[in-house]
Structure 1
Amino acid sequence: MTYRLGIDVGGTNTDAVILDEQLHVVTSTKVHTTTDIETGIYTSMKAVLNQTKIDPAEVTAAMLGTTQCTNAIVERKQLANVGVIRLGYPASLSIVPYTAWPADMISVLSGKYKIVHGGFEYNGEPITPLDLEELAGVLDDWQGQVESIAIVGIFSAIRPEQEEKVAEIIRQKYGTDFPISMSAAIGSIGLIERENATILNAALNKVMQRTANGFQNALANEGLVNAQAYFCQNDGTLMSVDYAKKYPILTIGSGPTNSIRGAAYLAQVQDTIVLDIGGTTSDVGVLSKGFPRESAVAVRVGGIRTNFRMPDINSIGVGGGSIVRQDKAGRITVGPDSVGYQIEDKALVFGGDTITATDIAVRLGYAEVGDVTLVQHLSEAFARQAGEKIAEMLAEAIDQMKTSRDDVQLVLVGGGAIIAPSTLKGVRKIIKNEQGPVANAIGATIAQIGSDFEKIYSYEQVDRAQALTDAKAQASTRAVTAGADTASLNLVEVDETPLAYAPGQTTKVRVKVVGELAQRGKVVTATSKQ
């Protein structure tokens, strides 16, 4: 018998589950997220192993969904000194790298950049050729001053070879292990947003190195010597540790997607809306053909506008630990501040002195948590008003994610799901599962390896079928690199977007490929029923 271990780190709780070969939940646990995060991971891991008494050597795969990279950007901590090389002189001098970035972030990353000769037109014609002597001078100047380099070429989505040549030169100069991020593999069309995403990816190198090493060391210390480690991506799939070290930015936003995938697995549905209520926030996402719907607009990460793939999530400041207040005029507010992981110290039902959304749920009879007698002094009218406010906020968040005015089916998960009423405006059916509180960890554990590829093709120069075949091959190669089993690869999405401003039937093609984990022993699929 072999097992999978999945851990997901949230703002309030860190959840862990163990699944067997048929992907049935063997056990699960929920512990408070700690300030240093790692302690919460170790605690949850030990808890599920102790509960099952299984041989740690029988765990063959371990998955981690973590907020480490997100926190590093938001807190401006543990980031690498980045040098930015933009291939686009003289065409892109009017807007330089780091334009519109927060000043404190520029300072943390060093703010070093150089716009050198290179780049391409939209039709693939070079703007100017690379100047290798110019590039060598930049690298000489930066020697010992940068810890990572971001390479960004104009229209590298069409032709990435200049970026690849610059990367080759950097490795010759700085060593084969020097961290390099190439924009053609990270962002979409749009120079500045793609550049921003590439810079952030480069900045996260040290964070991911430490996180990956810590995770692998923890597995080894607990005797999980046969467990292959994976990180969760923000599209609901997994990637190997080595792949995560190259593309740490892909972990940003993985928490909500884990919940969406876990909810889909528990409810056995492919298309639905998912509401994940945690201790601090509620996240609403859309499940489309078994995977989270991706955002179609540029997303800000830590105040920085980017265009790399991100899940389409609507987050509001309502959770189980949200603080409930009533002002002098009688108006009731819920959140956005929360007691977070201190809920068992501060909520009324646990003997604290702060009214939380959980206290309201207990007072209204939605759930039995803590000591019910400790909230009996709250008037029924007050509790009812607060409950209506919570329901109103949740319904509005769901409504914003709809694609039609019809009532929708909703899968409700998360440790804070007890604060939701049994009915919500605009929702025709609410699906729950007893494992819903740890849906995020389940989503991490049952996920497949995935990768996508995006490129601009001219259908007048390249036959459409040939272009799609090429895109699928490129995505498949990335998926295998990320840890997928070659024989199990499956094309799950093809998106073609004609570019009206470009001649020659120019089309942006994006494909997504997923596959099962390529691990020792048999390949376990993620389609077994709970």
Structure 2
Amino acid sequence: MRRIGIDVGGTNTDGALLDGERVIETIKTPTTTDVLGGIRNVLDGLSHRDIDAVVIGTTQFTNAVVQRSNLNRVGFLRIGLPAGRSLPPLSGWPSDLAEAVRSDTFLVRGGIEYDGRPFEELDEQGVIDAAHQFADSGINAVVVAGSFSPIDTRQELRAAELIAEHHPKSQVTVSHRLGQLGLLERENAAGLNACLLELAESVIAAFGAAIDQAGLGSQTRLFLTQNNGTLLQIDEAVKYPVLTFASGPTNSMRGAAALGGVDDGLVVDVGGTTADFGALVSGYPRQANAAVEVGGVRTLFQLPDVLSIGLGGGSRIHTDPLRLGPDSVGQRLVTEALAFGGAVPTLTDAAIATGLLQVDGTSPPDLANAEEVLEYAAKMIADGADRMKLSSLEVPLIAVGGGAFAVSDAMAGITEVIRPIQGDTANAIGAALAEVSGVIDRVFHDMGHDAAVSEAIRLATEDAVASGADPTMVEVIEVEDLPLAYLPGDARRIRVRVVGPLESLHSSNG
């Protein structure tokens, strides 16, 4: 199967063409202001023959939240009265972000107890009244969040059904789809998703247009990568753009694992602006166990455990005292850095000045403290790697990204530093290697452990196959069984994740 992976970074847009797991060709182009221009440049620079899929990793939705730009307003419906009045929706959000998305908010009676019993029956008339108000206010993006809804989703689903019936233009995000127990964090995740829905429609349509303009053919499918390192179908991406959050570091880690031949260890991806550290467990990124803040909003997303520091190839060199970054020339490196004829001293200049890095079209700049700068950068990276370790055991580290020259060959706690030949495009390679996943996370009643796990695996496999996985190659990579002693009927929460390669639509790759 031939696939093109594309990863859009702040400095460069990288592309990779793979046939199976074999890398055929790669390309690195500057990220353009409109983003889509960079994607078109990548597609124009790679072969188009028998391409089964184009897989894109993008930070556009994360950036929109962080920069408070291109966000639509959101209506909130919380199910849970008489509880929940003291902390209304958007509690704890940064004030500027809350003001950017705030609209009508309704609290209605209903909700679920911690043991799965109804707290109160859903106030359906209250939901209908809210739907009419959302429609009258022109608010189409609506969040529905109910207390303990992951235990019993029926009230949220019924409310969503009523809103859709009485406000046909609505786009409803139900909170149980994006989070676990913890009402505020789950509601926050749904709110972040809802405020991106209009942007998601336009961005993903533009991605599709870029594929069409490249002339790749009707059998070429388009996917985005999601934060667990697997593929996200376009129809799902339009409904749940938040699932792409942190997909960039995930792509890099997956690509690094494949290129470096390491399933368990550390990865550092040094780009133009930041260095991202992650840990590999069985070839996939280690997931964060704590609440994660996105744009200042506390959520319970299943995101990779990533540490980012402001160090990259474009990081500015500051003196008196010596400091690198966090400011960076980013995509302007080739015009503003000293080695390219500019006036800004950067980490890349230090590497070129010492002969550590050779770049066509440049000349070594006069940088007296170049060696000291590289030592400072190496220490920052060593400190970051140490912070990512969970024990004193030594592990390998894979260094990828265009700024990987800054990684020292020897550091405490690291058995070896692996530098894959194509590591500067590991993010795009990781995107191209992404597999299809199926996830089931639900409470099962009146079933023993074996029966509940078997049923969860069956449902997760069906989900993966429906999303395009090859049914003969789906494998289980994660099973969690949490008995819920406080619920009746031998209840247990089962989480299963399966993955499988994308099924090819071409009978032959030639």
The 1:428/1:363 distance shift into structure 2, 3 A limit, reads farther
Q: How does 1:488-503 map to 2 (within 5 A)?
A: 488-497=473-482
SS of corresponding position for 2:4? strand
The 1:159/1:470 distance shift into structure 2, 3 A limit, reads farther
Q: Which amino acid aligns with 1:449?
A: V
Question: For the residues of structure 1 that align with 2:265 and 2:334, how far apart are their CA atoms?
Answer: 33
SS of corresponding position for 2:397? strand
Give 1:457 shift: 5.0
- Number of residues of Structure 1 aligned to a counterpart in Structure 2: 507
SS of corresponding position for 1:48? coil
Instruction: Describe the superposition over 1:477-529 as per-residue Cα deviations: whole angstroms up to 9, x where unpaired.
Output: 443443333343221011234668878876543221112214423699xxxxx
Asked if 1:46 corresponds to 2:44, the answer is yes
Contact 1:349–1:369 (Cα < 8 Å) also in 2: no
Asked if 1:393 corresponds to 2:386, the answer is no
Question: For the residues of structure 2 that align with 1:234 and 1:131, how far apart are their CA atoms?
Answer: 36
Q: Which amino acid aligns with 2:410?
A: T
The 1:78/1:408 distance shift into structure 2, 3 A limit, reads same
SS of corresponding position for 2:207? helix
Which residue number corresponds to residue 161 of structure 2?
Answer: 168
Question: For the residues of structure 1 that align with 2:32 and 2:179, how far apart are their CA atoms?
Answer: 32
Unaligned ranges ≥5, structure 2: none
Contact 2:127–2:163 (Cα < 8 Å) also in 1: no
The 1:173/1:271 distance shift into structure 2, 3 A limit, reads same
Of 439, 442, 455, the residue aligned with 1:452 is 439
Q: Which amino acid aligns with 2:438?
A: S
Give 1:24 shift: 1.7
User: TM-score normalised to the size of structure 2?
Assistant: 0.94
SS of corresponding position for 1:486? coil
Which residue number corresponds to residue 16 of structure 1?
Answer: 15
Question: For the residues of structure 1 that align with 2:397 and 2:342, how far apart are their CA atoms?
Answer: 33
Contact 1:98–1:111 (Cα < 8 Å) also in 2: no
Of 253, 274, 279, the residue aligned with 2:246 is 253
Contact 2:11–2:271 (Cα < 8 Å) also in 1: yes
The 1:456/1:346 distance shift into structure 2, 3 A limit, reads same
The 1:62/1:373 distance shift into structure 2, 3 A limit, reads closer
Question: For the residues of structure 2 that align with 1:239 and 1:523, how far apart are their CA atoms?
Answer: 25
SS of corresponding position for 2:417? strand
Of 107, 114, 120, the residue aligned with 1:122 is 114
The 1:495/1:130 distance shift into structure 2, 3 A limit, reads same
Which residue number corresponds to residue 378 of structure 1?
Answer: 367
Asked if 1:181 corresponds to 2:180, the answer is no
Instruction: Describe the superposition over 1:426-475 as per-residue Cα deviations: whole angstroms up to 9, x where unpaired.
Output: 322011111100000000001101132323456xx442223323333443
Give 1:105 shift: 1.6
Unaligned ranges ≥5, structure 1: 525-530
Q: Which amino acid aligns with 2:434?
A: A
Contact 2:340–2:363 (Cα < 8 Å) also in 1: no
SS of corresponding position for 1:74? helix
Question: For the residues of structure 2 that align with 1:182 and 1:313, how far apart are their CA atoms?
Answer: 27
Question: For the residues of structure 1 that align with 2:263 and 2:393, how far apart are their CA atoms?
Answer: 18
Q: How does 1:410-449 map to 2 (within 5 A)?
A: 410-449=397-436
Contact 1:158–1:457 (Cα < 8 Å) also in 2: no
Question: For the residues of structure 2 that align with 1:130 and 1:503, how far apart are their CA atoms?
Answer: 22
Question: For the residues of structure 1 that align with 2:344 and 2:487, how far apart are their CA atoms?
Answer: 59
SS of corresponding position for 1:146? coil
SS of corresponding position for 1:454? strand
Question: For the residues of structure 2 that align with 1:239 and 1:518, how far apart are their CA atoms?
Answer: 14
The 1:122/1:457 distance shift into structure 2, 3 A limit, reads farther
The 1:454/1:35 distance shift into structure 2, 3 A limit, reads same
Asked if 1:406 corresponds to 2:393, the answer is yes
Question: For the residues of structure 2 that align with 1:269 and 1:161, how far apart are their CA atoms?
Answer: 43
Q: Which amino acid aligns with 1:509?
A: I
Q: How does 1:444-483 map to 2 (within 5 A)?
A: 444-456=431-443, 461-483=446-468
Q: How does 1:503-522 map to 2 (within 5 A)?
A: 507-521=492-506
SS of corresponding position for 2:176? helix
User: TM-score normalised to the size of structure 1?
Assistant: 0.91
Which residue number corresponds to residue 107 of structure 1?
Answer: 99
Percent of aligned positions that are identical = 39
Instruction: Compare 140-149 and 280-289 and name the one that shifted more.
Output: 140-149
SS of corresponding position for 1:200? helix
Q: How does 1:132-211 map to 2 (within 5 A)?
A: 132-144=124-136, 145-175=138-168, 178-211=170-203
Question: For the residues of structure 2 that align with 1:76 and 1:505, how far apart are their CA atoms?
Answer: 46
Question: For the residues of structure 2 that align with 1:482 and 1:392, how far apart are their CA atoms?
Answer: 44
Of 269, 280, 297, the residue aligned with 1:276 is 269
Instruction: Describe the superposition over 1:213-251 as per-residue Cα deviations: whole angstroms up to 9, x where unpaired.
Output: 111111111111221000000111111111111211110
Query: What is the alpha-carbon root mean square deviation over aligned residues?
Result: 2.1
